[in-house]
Amino acid sequence: MIKYNNFSNTVQKDSYESGVIYAYNLTLKDYTKDEIIDILSKNELEIKPVAIINLKSIDNEFEAKLLLNHLTGIDGRIREAVSFVLSELSEKNNEFVKFYLDENSKEILLKSITDINPNVVRNIISFIKRSEILKKELKNKIISKTIEVLNSLNQYIKEGFPFRENAEKSLKNHAKNKLTFNLYWLLEVISILDVDNIEELDDILTKTSVFLDYTIREKTAQILSKMKNPPLELLRKLKNDENMYVKNQLL
């Protein structure tokens, strides 16, 4: 995320020029920690993205939960700002992760992995990747969500045929494409987990290895490349995949 990017578009004033000036002035302001927390506690949506990306630390459970509550169910620019801050803060201080470990916080982080905005997802995966605690605590939820998405995708499979042999007419189905998008990112986050200690993984990869969408097969191959003892049949199949990006994951 580029800091202060396009914030003029979030402000509605009497004219375009006054809106740009107003937004520019917002970006110049140095916000104190108390001011940021106060803004987050109010309904000042146009200021929140700027205030959030000025946040330098999370020092208690209240601040952590207040920030996390802006990661779902709110304007995309705010969600992206929160995810950006989390990815940045995790480089400096792993101690604050302990504030995120209640069940509600885990559910929020899980939901953000399937956010419609890929920048949010990338940032959250980066955040999770830097914390062994979070990877351990979120593993079961991530696997359960992946299985749920795969089960939802079953309705788009012609009986007796794998994904790669499905009718082309389903390619433009919005609901299917959204589920496939979610599956892509869930596989990405699985690749940063301890892949050798996931009981359901072989079954998941068996299903994802036959997807028509090569990006799903590519993520499958990426996970196989991280396993100490990958299923040999899957390894052979994807090493000989028709798509070079899939094969390259296993070189």
The third-level CATH classification (topology) of the domain covering 1-130 is: Leucine-rich Repeat Variant (1.25.10)
Nearest partner of 95 among 126, 69, 133, 65, judged by Cα: 133
Which pLDDT value is given to residue 2? 47
Domains of the chain, by residue range, sit at: 1-130, 138-251
Report the pLDDT averaged over residues 207-212.
92
**Of 95-99, 132-136, 150-154, 226-230, highest mean pLDDT:** 226-230
For tokens 């999370």, name the residue: 58
* pLDDT above 90 for 201: yes
Neighbours of 41 (CB within 10 A): 10
Which pLDDT value is given to residue 83? 94
Q: What is the pLDDT of residues 80-137, one digit of tens each?
A: 999 999 988 765 555 566 667 788 889 999 999 999 999 999 999 999 998 888 899 9
What is the separation, in whole angstroms, between the first and last Cα of the chain? 32
Q: What is the pTM of this model?
A: 0.82
